Amino acid sequence: MGKEIKLALVYRDMWQASGKYMPNIDELVSVADPIIAMGCFDRVETNGGGFEQINLLKGENPNKSVRAWTDPFNKVGIQTHMLERGLNGIRMSPVSKDVRKLMFALKKKQGTDISRSFDGLNNPQNLELSFQYAKEGGMIAQGALSITHSPVHTIEYYIKLADQYIERGAEEICIKDMAGVGRPVSIGKIVKGIRERHPNIVITYHGHSTTGFAIVSSLEAARNGANIIDVGMEPLSWGTGHCDLLSVHAMLKDAGFSLKDVNMDAYMEVRSQTQAIIDNSLGYYINKQNRFLNSLLIGPGLPGGMMGSLMADLEKNLKSVNKWLSKNNKPTLTQDELLIKLFNEVEHTWPKVGYPPLVTPFSQYVKNLSLMNVIQVIKGKQRFSMIDENTWGMMLGKSGQLPGQLDDEIIQLAKDQGREFYTGNPQDLYPDVLEDFSAKMKEKGWDEGKDKEELFEYAMHPQQYEDFKSGRARENYLKDLEGKKNAAKAPQVSQSSAALNNLQPKSLIVEVNGEKFKVNIDYPNESDGNAVDTNKSKAQPHADSDSGKYITSPLEGKFFLTKNSSEKAIVVGDEVKVGDTVAYVESMKVINAITSSVAGTVQEIYVNHGDDIEEDSPLIKLS
């Protein structure tokens, strides 16, 4: 009998690596028993990462989902685990200590056994509290090494990093190969080095199959001392997801390892139920390219977990870019052409910003910055002429020390903008907030929930929780889903029809009492399949008609007058200088400052806090 290898099903990550949303509570509960009946899993990943935020975006209560979803596994002794982001908890931005501490105690009470904690910069300092709070809450503290292939991320770097995690309290180690770019032999050497130094530590290998390396890396990890291999399963294995259960199982059996058998009847039931969820709703948010391996990603190293949302976002970016290109009589781009430009730019930009591991949230920051560079260059502007606030925070040290060195160009840009670098403990920048959120809930008449779970949710995801409570989230999700279903049913527009549509005017400039307005014109039966009554079109100010009088949106997204409650919103009558930040736009999960290129007095603000805005749309009029 060979060495025993255990398998863990990453059912949550399977969905997140494929598309935008997660199954609802009924779907999760329904598939739990068949997963158990498969008989081959010692662990199942049930929550963490973007799970709860996505629940809220669908208008569902994530606390009820976690309790109901973990319960069947708890009853039969299958360990459940979650993914958490250290300083960021389970969101994209840093969170206070009191919220982090509550999270671990709460998640254990809700049925989660293991916390897989990673830091986007592989910073042991940021994870020390995660390990401490996990153990205090009764969870197993697992430290994850975010695998990235770069000149600074060497085999020795990762072995020493594991030492530091264990010294700071990690009880297990996970090799988190989130982009599948870890070379198999190197993965084996990392595992072997950790095993030699820590003979009794539990080691898990978690690899996305994106580039094609992970199936071999699974074998190398097992041969060199890994105890557990994470797997996905059809219909969401491979592609940007994970290596398939059946392939890994057969490969390890052939290599002489001992594994639990797979109940194929139960396997087919899980597969069937998962496919039904795809067919009924969530398939509308899965880009078909995410179902394929892509060796082009070896270069940029972007992770599978973000590729699902990337492809959805890229459709909007492509539309916006092509709108600008058409307006300026330039050839438009295909999605593949924009994607390749993005991949090439990531390889150029990543070293300049200090080689942060390409894992959430820093993979998003590097991707977003690279995409903005691509867009700015297309428009004839300079690279790094638009950097979002989240990326600046990373580069200034507000999330911890970067693995590499910032490029001199970035350092000079920070000095030119009067930005200061931070060298202290990042956690000190985020004071406790639970009392404030508790007071807000009391004012609103909201219950804090069992084990303070609703208070936790509000403090962790403030805007999403408010949208959930108001019903806006559910309404927006259902509206979006219906639109995607209708678009899928709509007949394709022929090339001749599309060419004819391109000859029709899309807007007119109308002058009223000496002031010029831009009126957009929509035609029935265009590519979106929706007829619009042009008599109801709302006149919008046209920035080009009154040069220097308008501050316009630098990109498509959601408009915010302030980024937090401590800021004062701009109002009519305020004086604005060139370079002043006047508002913000949230796009691609980060906050971008909207700065003024002109000086003047605020005469009118055309949009409200929380409104959706389009690129180049006028926002504020100056006199």
Q: Over the stretch 179-223, which tens digit does the pLDDT of each residue have?
A: 899 999 999 999 999 999 999 999 999 999 999 999 999 999 999
φ, ψ of residue 191 in degrees (nearest 5): -60, -45
Q: What is the pLDDT of residues 112-138, one digit of tens each?
A: 999 999 998 999 999 999 999 999 999
pLDDT value for 553: 83
Q: At 290, is the pLDDT very low, low, confident or very high (cuts 50, 70, 90)?
A: confident
pLDDT of 495 > 70? The answer is no
Is the sign of the CA dihedral 330, 336, 341, 346 positive or negative?
A: positive
- Are the beta carbons of 47 and 81 closer than 8 angstroms? no
Kindly tell me if the per-residue pLDDT of 619 is higher than 80.
yes
Q: How far apart are CA 115 and CA 106, in angstroms?
A: 12
- The pLDDT assigned to 224 comes to 98
pLDDT of 499: 43
- pLDDT of residue 504 exceeding 70, the answer is no
Contact indicator for 512, 505 with CB cutoff of 8 Å: no
Q: Examine the pLDDT at 546 and tell me if it is beyond 60.
A: no
pLDDT of residue 518: 52
Where residue 539 falls among pLDDT bands split at 50, 70, 90?
A: very low
**503 pLDDT band (50/70/90 cuts)?**
very low
At residue 530 the predicted structure's pLDDT band, cuts being 50, 70 and 90, is very low
* Section 84-91 average pLDDT: 94
- Residue written as token pair 């930009």: 349
**Is residue 254 pLDDT above 80, yes or no?**
yes
Say yes or no to pLDDT of 547 above 60.
no
Whether the Cβ atoms of residue 595 and residue 582 lie closer than 8 Å to each other: yes
Flag whether pLDDT at 359 surpasses 70: yes
pLDDT tens digits for 150-171? 899 999 999 999 999 999 999 9
pLDDT at 339: 86
> How large a percentage of the chain has pLDDT more than 70?
88
List the single range of 28-32, 312-316, 489-493 with lowest mean pLDDT: 489-493
> Going by C-beta distance under 8 Å and a sequence separation of 6 or more, which residues neighbour residue 357?
120, 121, 122, 146, 147, 148, 153, 363, 403
Q: How far is the C-alpha of 236 from the C-alpha of 274, rounded, in Å?
A: 8
pLDDT above 90 covers a percentage of the chain that reads 60
pLDDT digits (tens, 9 = 90+) for 297-353: 787 777 765 665 666 677 778 888 888 889 889 999 998 898 889 889 999 999 999
Query: Quick check: 511 pLDDT over 60?
Result: no
Query: pLDDT: is 491 or 48 the higher one?
Result: 48
What's the chain's average pLDDT?
87
Backbone angles phi, psi at 340, to 5 degrees: -65, -40
Whether the model pTM is above 0.85: no
424: left (phi over 0), alpha (psi -120 to 50) or beta: beta
Q: How far is CA 129 from CA 84, 91, 120, 136, 202, in A?
A: 12, 16, 15, 10, 20
Residue 514 has pLDDT above 80, yes or no: no
Of the pLDDT bands very low, low, confident and very high (cuts 50, 70, 90), residue 225 is: very high
d(CA 399, CA 395): 8
Q: How confident is the model at residue 81 (pLDDT cuts 50, 70, 90)?
A: very high
Give pLDDT tens digits for 588-610.
667 778 888 788 898 889 888 88
Residues written for the chain: 623
pLDDT of residue 490: 78
Closest CA to 90 of 60, 115, 69: 115
SS (H, E, C) 78-131: CEEEEEECHHHCCCCCCCCHHHHHHHHHHHHHCCCCEEEECCCCCCHHHHHHHH
Q: 413-433: per-residue pLDDT in tens?
A: 999 889 999 999 999 999 999
Rounded Cα distance between 151 and 296, Å, is 19
256-265, 289-298, 355-364, range with the lowest pLDDT: 289-298
SS3 at position 264: helix
Name the nearest CA neighbour of 306 among 253, 240, 244, 385: 240
Helices (H), 38-96: 51-57, 62-76
> Mean pLDDT lowest for which of 65-79, 278-292, 403-417?
278-292
| pLDDT at residue 491 greater than cutoff 50 | yes
Q: Is the pLDDT of residue 39 over 80?
A: yes
Residue with tokens 């996905």: 232
Q: What is the pLDDT of residue 517?
A: 53
Backbone angles phi, psi at 467, to 5 degrees: -65, -35
Block residue for tokens 């390749």: 340
Spatial separation of the C-alpha atoms in residues 267 and 300, rounded to whole Å: 35
List, in order, residues 6 or more apart from 152 with CB less than 8 Å away: 355, 403, 404
> Does the pLDDT at position 146 exceed 80?
yes
pLDDT band at 543 (very low <50, low <70, confident <90, very high): very low
DSSP secondary structure string for all residues of 127-171: HHHHHHHHHHTT-EEEEEEE---BTTB-HHHHHHHHHHHHHTT-S
What the block records as the tokens of 133 is 């709070």
Q: Which of 580, 597, 560 is nearest to 417 (CA)?
A: 580
Better-scored residue on pLDDT, 124 or 509: 124
**Confidence at 500, pLDDT banded by 50, 70, 90:** very low
DSSP string, 311-368: HHHHHHHHHHHHHHHHHTT-----HHHHHHHHHHHHHHHHHHBT---S-TTHHHHHHH
In this structure, are residues 378 and 321 in contact, taking their beta carbons and an 8 Å threshold? yes
Structure tokens at 524: 């029935």
Distance from C-alpha of 337 to C-alpha of 39, rounded to nearest angstrom: 45
- What three-state secondary structure class fits 220? helix
Q: How far apart are CA 93 and CA 102, in angstroms?
A: 17
Reported confidence tier of residue 526, pLDDT bands at 50, 70, 90: very low
How high is the pLDDT of residue 513?
54
Alpha helices by DSSP H, 137-283: 155-167, 184-197, 214-223, 245-254, 264-280
Report the DSSP beta bridge partners of residue 144: 174
498 pLDDT above the threshold of 50: no
Best CA proximity match to 459, nearest among 482, 438, 476: 438
Q: Which helix (H) or strand (E) holds 622?
A: strand 618-622
Instruction: Quickly count: other Cβ atoms within 10 Å of residue 622's Cβ.
Output: 20
Tokens representing residue 271 in the block: 């597969």
- Is the distance from CB of 232 to CB of 241 less than 8 angstroms? yes
- Ordered by where they begin, the domains of the chain are 6-286 (3.20.20.70), 297-429 (no CATH), 434-489 (no CATH), 504-546 (no CATH), 547-623 (2.40.50.100)
Looking at residue 513, its amino acid is: N
State the burial class of residue 529 (Cβ atoms within 10 Å of its Cβ: 0-12, 13-18, 19+).
Answer: middle
